[in-house]
Structure 1
């Protein structure tokens, strides 16, 4: 395998470039140490392989056909612990998404265990609240532990929310397929009432966030009927499926004419990125099967569609009522 890897690097270099010198420079090791790796006298470590593959843009999955076995390589998104890193996450995500807006073949499929990210990135209290909740979970230095939502929005820079809004707007130009079920809204509702009960979220803010949530429900219902993304200048398509057989996972698949990639979450806002095409194809076929076993809401009839969205509105109203009378949150 090492010989194959070195041969691949050598094929990428120009004739006047030395593979030994290039490896020494990339790994920051001596010429002799690099030469021992080139000749196979010293094994290249996994960490060194990843460093070299990223530098020379070599897919280790493709090179070694890892997919023929039971292991694949993935990328992990950078960790987020503070406001600056969250803002950078929004900016980096924007740069990754922007090229897709110029591809007619690009589409996103979203298994929505929770309300999809892009609905929560707008000029709203819900956006600010989501940033607050994400940082409450991700912050490790304790600075967010007792911080109230009001203190957070008073201290957080406007640039954080502006970056979130710009990212959210970008999704208006990409075809989107979503799978929702009756529980998709539950997590956000539970978060609202939890922080209200702890005293970190005021009654006024809790009610404003609930209003934003109801606006999202209306927005999604309208999109599901007209089958296009609202505010899209290129008439991006939108299809919403109600999936009752499977639990959603917040897995996101991005497809273009020439490539597929999916993102599988493992912590808040942190994803494994999988580009291995055989694995991506399996997930794509799985989503196709899920479509066949789900209801496309535009075709399910006005009654079924109304019941689905009315149920979500009733859940929000239930939380609003309990906030107003300060009783315990019902269990969904």
Structure 2
């Protein structure tokens, strides 16, 4: 009986993309509409796949045919979504974020790494009004939703309500995953600049709204400091309910690029940021091994301020607060 090692290795690659509780043979049998026995024979390499079966499996598992032929090239396959300029594009983006976090959560051993340029979106979600502002900004100025073309932002409108349920689901999923974030002092600048810019452009309905959002940022910083101190994820107002491990590093030399990296059992995935809020991901083994080594090197050259380094921790978060307070005071002074 012949045995195709390349085909058997191909199926092992597919298996790594499945949650731990999912049976590879059942998946293959269902996808190819064949018997369990036929699926086993293909997985073991006893029966060769034909081209139509290979195409179906590559499309279903978002993998490259290069994996099957064990080809080594400089090409790296990425998958992801882009703005389709529809009114529901942001909801689709939120649902995709939730799906990716659920995928990570489906594995027994998991960890996510975030190389921070802009504060990770999850931290904005801690406050309804701040989340509403970010959602409004992304939809109006990034996704170009026509319905928001001539509208202004107000913390009193109900635009957040349509995203409340999915936001809560995302937060709960995020809080279950052990996380390492690599920050720089510039990590809150983008959100602060967005608030400031909308205020200067008159997109805010009132100065009070602008000041309120700056105060939300101060509360977010307070919560980040509490999480760093405990080394655990914490929802504001729920200090007795701790989530997964939370590791906070500061790198004074590197400004991050919002790279999002996940380890799931033996599998690694890199998500690269593009078009402000979108990510393209790859499971390419060599690329991910190199990316993981790069993150490990960055962490070695960074200062850990979670659980340890109380002095450095207080200094860092006080610097973040100073940035917010300066803008808050400047806004208040202009109105006097």
- Category of TM-score, reference length = shorter chain: 0.7 to 0.9
Contact 2:180 2:246 in 1 (8 A): yes
CA 1:294/1:200 → structure 2, altered by over 3 Å: closer, same or farther?
A: same
Counterpart selection for 1:265 from 273, 288, 300: 273
Counterpart selection for 2:325 from 313, 317, 329: 317
Compute the RMSD of aligned alpha carbons: 3.1
1:54 paired to 2:59: yes
In the TM superposition, what is the alpha-carbon distance from 1:276 to its structure 2 partner?
Answer: 0.6
1:274 paired to 2:279: no
In the TM superposition, what is the alpha-carbon distance from 1:15 to its structure 2 partner?
Answer: 7.1
1:125 paired to 2:133: no
Matches of 2:96 and 2:111 in 1, distance apart? 19
In the TM superposition, what is the alpha-carbon distance from 1:57 to its structure 2 partner?
Answer: 5.8
Contact 1:112 1:249 in 2 (8 A): yes
Contact 2:125 2:171 in 1 (8 A): yes
In the TM superposition, what is the alpha-carbon distance from 1:69 to its structure 2 partner?
Answer: 1.8
Cα displacement string for residues 79-119 of structure 1 (whole angstroms, at most 9, x for unaligned residues): 25355221222223223312433544111100010111111
Cα displacement string for residues 23-54 of structure 1 (whole angstroms, at most 9, x for unaligned residues): xxxxxxxxxxxxxx96xxxxx9xxxx988721
1:176 paired to 2:184: no
Counterpart selection for 1:207 from 211, 226, 247: 211
Q: Where does residue 115 of structure 1 map in the other structure? A: 119
Matches of 1:79 and 1:14 in 2, distance apart? 34
Contact 1:103 1:256 in 2 (8 A): yes
Cα displacement string for residues 263-294 of structure 1 (whole angstroms, at most 9, x for unaligned residues): 10111221111111111111001000001100
Larger deviation, residues 77-86 vs 165-174: 77-86
Counterpart selection for 1:302 from 298, 303, 310: 310
SS in 1 for 2:269: strand
Q: Where does residue 189 of structure 2 map in the other structure? A: 186
CA 1:80/1:175 → structure 2, altered by over 3 Å: closer, same or farther?
A: farther
Q: State the TM-score, normalizing by the size of structure 2.
A: 0.77
Matches of 1:56 and 1:216 in 2, distance apart? 38
Contact 1:82 1:135 in 2 (8 A): no
> Unpaired segments of 5 or more residues in structure 1?
17-36, 39-43, 328-332
- Number of corresponding residues: 291
> Unpaired segments of 5 or more residues in structure 2?
1-5, 12-28, 36-49
Aligned pairs (5 A) from 1:1-332: 13=32, 53-55=58-60, 58-65=63-70, 68-79=72-83, 81-140=85-144, 142-150=146-154, 154=157, 156=159, 158-201=161-204, 202-231=206-235, 235-298=243-306, 301-326=309-334
Cα displacement string for residues 101-150 of structure 1 (whole angstroms, at most 9, x for unaligned residues): 35441111000101111111234211000001111233346443332112
